C-alpha cells in the first residue's frame, strides 16, 4: 500500500504530515510522490491566507478522477480547511472520502479502514480537550539533524483578522514530561537541533493546571545531552516576558534567532487588529532582546492593506523595518477570513493598493536582508552542518545560530550534524559563503 500526501501552509502542517506518514508506515504503507500510484491520498490544508478552497478544489479535481483506474483509492482532506468546512466539503466534492479536523489526526487510520469497509464518506471535525495527534511521534528521517516538536496547539488571542483560533481551537499545551521524553528520544537518534512549534509557544503551560512555564521547559530541554540548538516559533510580542528575554542570555543552546510577528507599524492598525501592543512597546522588547543577546537575528510577519490602513499607517510599517532591521520578513496582503471580526470592517484597501504596498515592503526588506548578509563578511560563526550544499561542487551547507545559510568547501574531516567554526568570506543572495577554520 502507498500513501501520497500534499501539504499546504505552516511548519505545523509539515510536522502533522510527518505524523500522518508515520501512522500509516506503522501499518505497512510506503510514501510515494506519484499520486497515481497511491492507495491513499491525503491533502493537509491551510486556511490562514489567500483563497485556500480554490487550491483544494483544484487538487481534488486532479485526484478524484484517479479513482476511475483505482476504485479502491481513498482520498482524505485534513487541516484547517477541513476543520472549517466539515461535512459540507464532502457534499461539495463527490468522490472525496474523508474529512478530518485539526484535532482528529490520530483517528485517520481508523477512518480509512472504516471507509474501505463501508465505502461511505465520513467527516470527523469535533474539537477535543486535547487535540489528538499531539502525542504521535514521527520518527526522524534517516540522517536528519533537526526535528520539529509541537509543544502546544491552538490560540486564545483572536486577532481580528485571523482564522487560527477557529480552526485550531483553544490553546492546549502538551505535558512537559512527554515533550522532554520526545526530545530525549530524538537526541538519542542523532538529532542536534529541536524546533518547538505552536501557534503561541510563549504562552506554553499557562492554560494547564500545575504545568511548568515555557522558560522552565526550555531550561529542562537545555540539559538534554546531544541537543545543541533550540529554536521555537511562533511567539506573540505581548507574551515576550522579561524571563524569556533573559533566557536567551542564560541558555547558550537557545539560538540567537527569534520570529516575532509585528503585523503592522501603526498603533491604530495594531489596535484594530487586536494585537495588544503598540509599536513602541514592540520596539522596547526588541531593544531588551538586543541588549540580552547582541546580534540576535529577528524575522517577522507583516500584513499590508488591513482595512482602514492609510498611506501614513503603511509608512509606519516601513519605518519599523528600518528601526528593527529584520533578517527576513514574511509579508502578506490582507485577505478577508469569513467569520473573523475584521471580516465586518469597512474601509477596505483596494487590491491594487495592497499589491503596491507589498512590493514596496518587500523591495526595501530585500535590501536590508542583503545589507545584513554583507555585514557578516569577515565574521567567524558557529555553523551546524546540515548536509551537502544544494549547489553541489563538493560543498557543505549549514546554518549559523542566527539561522543564516552558509555554504563552504567541505574538508574531509567534517560530518553532517557537527558544529564547526566558519569564517564568512562572501555574501550571496539569501546565503553566505564561508571557509572552515581549523
Ligand atoms: N490576511 C493576511 N495575512 C494573514 N495572516 C493571518 N491571517 C491573515 C489574513 N487574514 C498572516 C499573519 C500571521 C501569518 C501566519 O499569516 O501575518 O502572522
Ligand atoms: Fe492568529 Fe493572532 Fe493567534 Fe497568531 S496570535 S494565531 S495571528 S489569532
pLDDT per residue as tens digits for the range 42-89:
999 988 887 788 889 999 999 999 999 999 999 999 999 999 999 999
Q: Are strands 74-78 and 98-100 parallel, antiparallel or unpaired?
A: parallel
Domain ranges of the chain: 2-124, 140-255, 291-375, 380-436
Backbone angles phi, psi at 71, to 5 degrees: -60, -20
- Closest ligand (CA of 277): 2
Of the given ranges (23-37, 125-139, 268-282, 298-312), which has the lowest mean pLDDT? 125-139
Superfamily holding 2-124? Methylthiotransferase, N-terminal domain (3.40.50.12160)
Q: Report the separation in Å between the CA atom of 101 and the middle of ligand 2, taken as the mean of its atom positions.
A: 19
**What pLDDT is attached to residue 360?**
98
Closest Cα partner for 227 from 251, 194, 263?
A: 194
3-state secondary structure of 357: helix
3-state secondary structure of 359: helix
- Closest ligand (CA of 262): 1
Closest Cα partner for 103 from 77, 75, 80, 72?
A: 80
Residue 155 CB less than 6 A away from ligand 2: yes
3-state secondary structure of 378: coil
Residue 162 CB less than 6 A away from ligand 2: yes
Ligand 2, residue 199: give the atom nearest the CA.
Answer: 6
How is residue 201 written as a grid cell? 509557544
Look at the domain 291-375 and name its fold.
Transcription Regulator spoIIAA (3.30.750)
Greater model confidence, 287 or 413: 287
Which residue has a Cα nearest atom 12 of ligand 1?
301
Inter-residue contact 39 to 28 (CB < 8 Å): no
Residue 337 CB less than 6 A away from ligand 2: no
Has residue 241 got a pLDDT over 90? yes
Q: Report the separation in Å between the CA atom of 302 and the middle of ligand 1, taken as the mean of its atom positions.
A: 8
**Torsion angle, alpha carbons of 382, 384, 390, 395, to 10:** 60
Q: What is the mean pLDDT of the chain?
A: 95
Has residue 212 got a pLDDT over 80? yes
Q: What is the pTM for the complete model shown? A: 0.94
With b meaning 16 or more CB within 10 Å and e meaning fewer, what string describes 400-415?
A: bbbbbbbbbebeeebe
Backbone angles phi, psi at 91, to 5 degrees: -70, -40
Distance between the two ends of the chain, CA-based, in angstroms? 49
Same fold, 140-255 and 380-436: no
- Closest ligand (CA of 166): 2
Ligand 1, residue 302: give the atom nearest the CA.
Answer: 17
Closest Cα partner for 166 from 241, 86, 93, 239?
A: 86
- Closest ligand (CA of 342): 1
Domain 380-436's class? Answer: mainly beta
Residue to probe by mutation, ligand 2, list 49, 198, 236, 340, most atoms within 8 Å of CB: 236
405 forms beta bridges with: 399
Ligand 2, residue 165: give the atom nearest the CA.
Answer: 8
User: CA–CA separation, 167 vs 409, rounded Å?
Assistant: 46
Ligand 1, residue 333: give the atom nearest the CA.
Answer: 2
Ligand 1 site residues, Cβ closer than 6 angstroms? 48-49, 161-162, 261, 263, 301, 303, 332, 334-335, 337
Beta-sheet strand order (sheet of 297-304): 257-259, 297-304, 328-333
Residue 165 CB less than 6 A away from ligand 2: yes
Residue carrying the nine cell digits 519599523: 320
Choices 3.30.565.10, 3.30.750.210, 2.40.10.120, 3.30.450.40: CATH for 140-255: 3.30.750.210
pLDDT per residue as tens digits for the range 372-397:
999 999 999 999 999 888 777 789 99
**What pLDDT is attached to residue 53?**
84
Mean pLDDT of 86-102: 96
408 forms beta bridges with: 396
pLDDT per residue as tens digits for the range 394-411:
899 999 999 999 999 987
Residue 260 CB less than 6 A away from ligand 2: no
Has residue 304 got a pLDDT over 80? yes
**What pLDDT is attached to residue 189?**
94
Amino acid at each position: 500500500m502507498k500513501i501520497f500526501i500534499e501539504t499546504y501552509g505552516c511548519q505545523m502542517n509539515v510536522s502533522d504530515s510527518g505524523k500522518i506518514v508515520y501512522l500509516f508506515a506503522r501499518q505497512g504503507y510506503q510514501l510515494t510522490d506519484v499520486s497515481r500510484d497511491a492507495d491513499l491520498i491525503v491533502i493537509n490544508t491551510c486556511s490562514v491566507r489567500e483563497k485556500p478552497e480554490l487550491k483544494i478544489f483544484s487538487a481534488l479535481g486532479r485526484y478524484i478522477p484517479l479513482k476511475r483506474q483505482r476504485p479502491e483509492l481513498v482520498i482524505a482532506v485534513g487541516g484547517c480547511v477541513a476543520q472549517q468546512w466539515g461535512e459540507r466539503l464532502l457534499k461539495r466534492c463527490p468522490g472525496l472520502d474523508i474529512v478530518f479536523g485539526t484535532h482528529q489526526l490520530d483517528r485517520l487510520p481508523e477512518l480509512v479502514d472504516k471507509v474501505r469497509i463501508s465505502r461511505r464518506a465520513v467527516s470527523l471535525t469535533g474539537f477535543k480537550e486535547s487535540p489528538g495527534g499531539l502525542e504521535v511521534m514521527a520518527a526522524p528521517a534517516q540522517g536528519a539533524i533537526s526535528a520539529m516538536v509541537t509543544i502546544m496547539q491552538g490560540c486564545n488571542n483572536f486577532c481580528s483578522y485571523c482564522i487560527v483560533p477557529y480552526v485550531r481551537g483553544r490553546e492546549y499545551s502538551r505535558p512537559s514530561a512527554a515533550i522532554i521524553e520526545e526530545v530525549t528520544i530524538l537526541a538519542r537518534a542523532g538529532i542536534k537541533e529541536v524546533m518547538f512549534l505552536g501557534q503561541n509557544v510563549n504562552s506554553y503551560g499557562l492554560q494547564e493546571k500545575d504545568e511548568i512555564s515555557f522558560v522552565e521547559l526550555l531550561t529542562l530541554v537545555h540539559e538534554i545531552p546531544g541537543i545543541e540548538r533550540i529554536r521555537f516559533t511562533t511567539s506573540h510580542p505581548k507574551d515576550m516576558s522579561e524571563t524569556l528575554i533573559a533566557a536567551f542570555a542564560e541558555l547558550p543552546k537557545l539560538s540567537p534567532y527569534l520570529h516575532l510577528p509585528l503585523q503592522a507599524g501603526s498603533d491604530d492598525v495594531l489596535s484594530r487588529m487586536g494585537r495588544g501592543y503598540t509599536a513602541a512597546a514592540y520596539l522596547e522588547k526588541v531593544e531588551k532582546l538586543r541588549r540580552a543577546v547582541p546580534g540576535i537575528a529577528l524575522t517577522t510577519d507583516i500584513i499590508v492593506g488591513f482595512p482602514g490602513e492609510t498611506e501614513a499607517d503603511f509608512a509606519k510599517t516601513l519605518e519599523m523595518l528600518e528601526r528593527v532591521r529584520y533578517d527576513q520578513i514574511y509579508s502578506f496582503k490582507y485577505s478577508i477570513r469569513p467569520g473573523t471580526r475584521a471580516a465586518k470592517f469597512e474601509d477596505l484597501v483596494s487590491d491594487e493598493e495592497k499589491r503596491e504596498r507589498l512590493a514596496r515592503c518587500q523591495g526595501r526588506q530585500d535590501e536590508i536582508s542583503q545589507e545584513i548578509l554583507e555585514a557578516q563578511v569577515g565574521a567567524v560563526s558557529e555553523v551546524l552542518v546540515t548536509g551537502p550544499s544544494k549547489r553541489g561542487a563538493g560543498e557543505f551547507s549549514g546554518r549559523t545560530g542566527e539561522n543564516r545559510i552558509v555554504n563552504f568547501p567541505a574538508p574531509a574531516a567534517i560530518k553532517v550534524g557537527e558544529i564547526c567554526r566558519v569564517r564568512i568570506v562572501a555574501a550571496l543572495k539569501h546565503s553566505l559563503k564561508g571557509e572552515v577554520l581549523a
